[in-house]
């Protein structure tokens, strides 16, 4: 875990740092955290794995392939889109 944090800090070395609540933050680190949170859900990872195998995809294809409700697929796609 510390190695990952070190790599992230290296990639943000040129960012402007600001202190907030005694923690070191950068815009880049906040974006990485938001992306990691979106990727941290197993259903979203299943959706991405399914999409990676497709040449094209329609919304209904995801629902037919994965055992989740259409509304749930829609919500997960929204979260993935916002994290991109």
Confidence label for 23 from pLDDT (cuts 50, 70 and 90): low
Q: Which residues pair with 66 in a beta bridge?
A: none
**CB neighbour burial string for 49-73, b if at least 16 within 10 angstroms, e if fewer:** eeeeeeeeeeeeebbebbeeeeeeb
pTM: 0.61
pLDDT of residue 72: 92
Q: Report the distance separating Cα 74 and Cα 15, nearest Å.
A: 34
Q: Across residues 54-74, what is the average pLDDT?
A: 87
**Residue 31: both structure tokens together:** 């974006």
């Amino acid at each position: 875990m510390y190695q990952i944090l070190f790599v992230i800090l290296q990639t943000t070395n040129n960012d402007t740092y600001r202190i907030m609540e005694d923690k070191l933050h950068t815009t880049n680190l906040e974006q990485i955290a938001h992306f990691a949170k979106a990727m941290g859900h197993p259903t979203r990872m299943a959706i991405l794995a399914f999409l990676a195998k497709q040449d094209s995809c329609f919304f209904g294809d995801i629902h037919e392939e994965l055992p989740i409700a259409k509304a749930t697929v829609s919500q997960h796609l929204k979260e993935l889109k916002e994290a991109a």
